[in-house]
């Protein structure tokens, strides 16, 4: 049984499944996240797979500002992910609320609702920075798995 668990741990690091959630933004960062899947960057060649179900995801990529209406959805998505899990906040809006931070309906960045492991700055964040953030997060995920 331990061999199977070791195999699964290695597989999660070598081929992470990522879920992308947009809290509400201008969609600049969302376009850049999707650009990572295009042939130019082709993150799938590294084993990274974009999934639509949080129960299958190892990492959650979050873009946009958090507001009172979407904070509950974000929290539910996070709670549905299996342990160990990784959260990557992308773009100025995901980090702090960005240009919308003074708006009446903006709570702030992603870390106001769920714990964030990696911050990827930019407005919008470049695909190279997003990929670097995912790689940095995978290092943290590997450390989390070792401690379990």
Name every residue whose Cβ is closer than 8 Å to that of residue 37 and which is 6 or more positions away in sequence: 43, 44, 50
**pLDDT value at residue 1:** 64
pTM attached to this predicted model: 0.89
Residues of the chain whose pLDDT is less than 50?
none
Asked if residues 52 and 19 have their Cβ atoms less than 8 Å apart, the reply is: yes
Distance (Å, whole) CA 48 – CA 25: 24
Q: Give me the residue label for tokens 């997003």.
A: 130
**pLDDT value at residue 91:** 93
**pLDDT value at residue 144:** 73
Distance (Å, whole) CA 110 – CA 90: 9
Domains for the chain: give ranges and CATH numbers. Answer: 18-147 (3.40.50.12280)
**pLDDT value at residue 24:** 84
pLDDT in tens, 110-125: 999 999 999 999 999 9
**pLDDT value at residue 148:** 66
**pLDDT value at residue 22:** 93
């Amino acid at each position: 049984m331990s061999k199977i668990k070791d195999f699964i741990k290695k597989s999660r690091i070598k081929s992470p499944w990522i879920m992308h959630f947009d809290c509400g933004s201008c969609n600049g960062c969302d376009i850049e996240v999707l650009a990572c899947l295009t042939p130019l960057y082709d993150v799938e060649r590294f084993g990274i797979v974009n999934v639509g179900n949080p129960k299958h995801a190892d990492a959650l990529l979050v873009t946009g500002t958090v507001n009172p209406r979407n904070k509950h959805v974000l929290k539910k998505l996070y709670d549905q992910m299996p342990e160990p899990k990784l959260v990557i906040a992308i773009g100025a809006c995901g980090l702090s609320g960005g240009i919308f931070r003074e708006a009446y309906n903006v709570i702030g960045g992603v870390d106001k609702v769920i714990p964030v492991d990696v911050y990827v700055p930019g407005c919008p964040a470049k695909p190279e920075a997003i990929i670097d953030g995912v790689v940095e997060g995978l290092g943290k995920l590997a450390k989390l798995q070792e401690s379990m």
